[in-house]
Chains A and B, each alone.
Chain A
Amino acid sequence: MSCKLVRRHLGAFVDGELDPATQIEFERHLEACPGCQEHLSFESSLRQQTRDSIGGIHAPEHLWGRAIHRLDAIDEARMEHTPLIEVRPMRWRQTWPIAAAAAAVLIIGGVVGLPEGAEYQSAGMLQDVVNLHSQALPSDVQAETPQEVGRYFQGKTPFPVQPAKFEEPGMKFAGARYIRVGTHPAAALYYIRDGRRVTLLVFQSPGLMRNAHRTHVGGRELYYHNVGANVVTIRQHAGVNYAFFGDLDRGTLFQLTANARVAY
């Protein structure tokens, strides 16, 4: 074993990260080689000096108290509404009554099945909207800090993102994260209403509006797509799509969508 090799991997030796056989060979070499011993003591001593120079920083005294304060808030919320805080994937078993309600509307409307052929892409994106809601991936921006949404998405999405505002006081912001709808960078904004999850996906795709149904709710125009037995509602603002989906009945979702302030 050469000195060159030993010196190259002295760091890993000091860290105790060599495999046992190599470790033994290193030890044997070091016993017999004063030059490498010197390198070893330098490596160890510098390690100690580095630890002394850059370590030993203490957190400010109030920091733990501040953190505890926020943990208290989580506990309180958990006490009141356990399901509101833990955003977990919804099982299909739980969603079927809603799906059945939507299906009933569907049959009355006489529209059945997914669009085909040229509409495949937009159908895929709509299916994605439904799937992403069901997956309920964990939030990166937490419910307590909606003011951080703008900064979080800066540079991630090609458009600014703010949490939508709802007239309904029951709609609570529950978190946000970066996501993709099809190939489009998107913002997923999670909300909770009466214990039910609502997902708002914000992304840019002009194709999404193709063949969308148009309707008016309370004097406001909105678009929607039937996706299988579900419905996805869409608002459009400045070339950005705001797609809503939730564990809600159709009427409520339409109402929410129409009354949402998506950009301000």
Chain B
Amino acid sequence: MPGKSKKIAAERQLFEADARPHLDTLYSMALRLTRSPVDAEDLAQDTLVRAYRFYDRFEAGTNFKAWLLRIQMNTFVNRYRRATRERQVFEGPMAVPVGEGVMSRASMRGLTDPVDDAQRRLIAREISRAFEELSDDARAIVLLADVEELSYKEIADVVGCPIGTVMSRLHRARKQLQGSLRKHAVQLGIIEEGDDDIEDPIALEAFRSRKAQKL
């Protein structure tokens, strides 16, 4: 059946053109999720196989990268996580409340304007280390937002939770990252220990309703 083989070859070509640019993203995400290069290769590979099988279900015009990442996340959850833990982490209550942890100006400058390359490398290493200390889900969300630059909506689709959860998780993870970075930067002498103020969280909704009352 030459018609059939032509159709299969055409679809295959399209799929490869769509998927190839995202191989690094898939692998990098898989590596962050599994923390093992061997498992990461398997996971990325299985993701591509599944994506190819269900390629006809991809909705043209939507974000193909986000679609691939969603398949990868599902594959990861199904394979590497036990059923009882599934999704629970994404939807469960936050374990520990995190303060705003706003840094002093001096700390902020110290972290973002390193004096030399050595310090720059030190900070980069500290960020990687602080990132590894985050929970699986927080790592995934930070990676999707800060590295892959997906929108909150797309992240919500990928990890399978409401947008509000993405926002609070992301905020929390970033603050954790900053807090941990600051702590280690102080230990390493990159920044000086100051009396950084810790503020209470404040809700955007509260501001909106206050504003509405004034009007």
* B-binding residues in A (CB < 8 A): 1-2, 4-5, 7-9, 11-12, 15, 17, 22, 38-39, 41-42, 45-47, 49-55, 57-60, 63-64, 66-68, 70-71, 74-75, 78-79, 82, 85, 138, 140, 142, 144, 148, 151-152, 154-156, 178
Asked if A67 contacts B44 (CB within 8 A), the reply is yes
Query: Once the chains bind, are A64 and B23 in contact (CB under 8 Å)?
Result: yes
CB-contact partner of B174 in A11, A55, A78, under 8 A = A11
Main secondary structure on chain A at its contact with chain B? Answer: helix
Choose from A70, A79, A152 the contact partner of B4 (Cβ within 8 Å): A79
Structural contact, A49 and B24, CB atoms closer than 8 A: no
Expressed in whole angstroms, the Cα–Cα distance for A16 and B32 within the complex equals: 25
CB neighbours (8 Å) of A15 from chain B are 145, 151-152
- Supply 27 A–B pairs (Cβ within 8 Å), ascending by A: A4-B202, A7-B102, A8-B201, A8-B204, A15-B152, A38-B105, A42-B112, A49-B123, A50-B127, A51-B146, A53-B125, A53-B127, A54-B128, A54-B131, A54-B142, A59-B23, A59-B27, A64-B20, A68-B16, A75-B8, A75-B9, A75-B12, A79-B4, A152-B78, A155-B84, A156-B83, A178-B78
Closest to B163 in A: A17
Could you say which residues of chain B place their CB within 8 Å of the CB of A156? Answer: 82-83
Are A46 and B52 closer than 8 Å at their CB atoms? no
Residues of B within 8 A of A155 (CB): 82-84
Give the size of the chain B interface in residues (CB under 8 angstroms): 63
Task: Provide the bound-state CA to CA distance between A75 and B5, in Å.
Answer: 9
Q: Which residues of A contact B83 (CB under 8 A)?
A: 155-156, 178
Cα(A191)–Cα(B171), bound, Å: 46
Chain A residue nearest to B49 (CB atoms) is A70
Complex: chain A residue closest to B37, CB-CB? A60
Q: Which of A9, A55, A68, A85 contacts B204 (CB 8 A)?
A: A9
CB of A46 within 8 A of CB of B5, answer no
Q: Is B5 a contact partner of A1 (Cβ separation < 8 A)?
A: no
Which residue of B has the minimal Cβ distance to A55?
Answer: B147
Query: Is B45 touching A8 in the complex (CB atoms < 8 A)?
Result: no
Contact call A50/B20, Cβ cutoff below 8 A: no
Q: Which residues from chain B sit less than 8 Å from chain A, CB to CB?
A: 1, 4-5, 8-9, 12, 15-16, 20, 23-24, 26-28, 31-32, 37, 41, 44-46, 48-50, 52-54, 78-79, 82-84, 100, 102-103, 105, 108, 111-112, 123-125, 127-128, 131, 142-143, 145-147, 151-152, 167, 170-171, 174, 177-178, 199, 201-202, 204, 207
Cβ–Cβ contact A74 & B147, under 8 A? no
Q: What is the CB-to-nearest-CB distance from A171 to chain B, in angstroms, rounded to a whole number?
A: 21
- Cα separation A53 to B131 with both chains bound (whole Å): 9
Contact between A5 and B8 (Cβ–Cβ < 8 Å)? Answer: no
Q: How far is the CA of A15 from the CA of B23 in the complex (A)?
A: 24
A158 CB to nearest B CB, Å: 11
Chain A residues positioned under 8 Å from B12 (CB to CB): 71, 75
Contact of A49 (CB < 8 Å), options: B4, B27, B124, B145: B124
User: Is B202's CB under 8 angstroms from A5's CB?
Assistant: yes
Which residue of A41, A82, A148 is within 8 Å of B112 (Cβ)? A41
Known interface pairs A46-B178, A49-B124; A17-B152 also in contact (CB < 8 Å)? yes
Q: What is the distance, in angstroms, from A146's C-beta to the closest C-beta of chain B?
A: 14
Question: Cβ of B100 and Cβ of A7 under 8 Å apart?
Answer: yes
In-complex Cβ contact of B147 among A38, A50, A70, A78 (8 A)? A50
Chain B CB within 10 Å — which of A47, A57, A70 has the most? A57
Contacts of A1 in B (CB 8 A): 207
CB distance from A213 to the nearest CB of B (A): 34
**B27 x A54 contact (CB < 8 A):** no
Give chain A residues whose Cβ lies under 8 Å from the Cβ of B125. 53
Task: Report which of B31, B131, B202 forms a contact with A8, defined as CB distance below 8 A.
Answer: B202
CA distance A38 to B45 in the complex (A): 43
- Residue of chain A at shortest CB distance from B151: A17
Contact B26 A59 (CB under 8 A): yes
CB-CB under 8 A from A47, the residues of chain B are 146
Contacts of B103 in A (CB 8 A): 42
Closest to A47 in B: B146
- Structural contact, A4 and B199, CB atoms closer than 8 A: yes
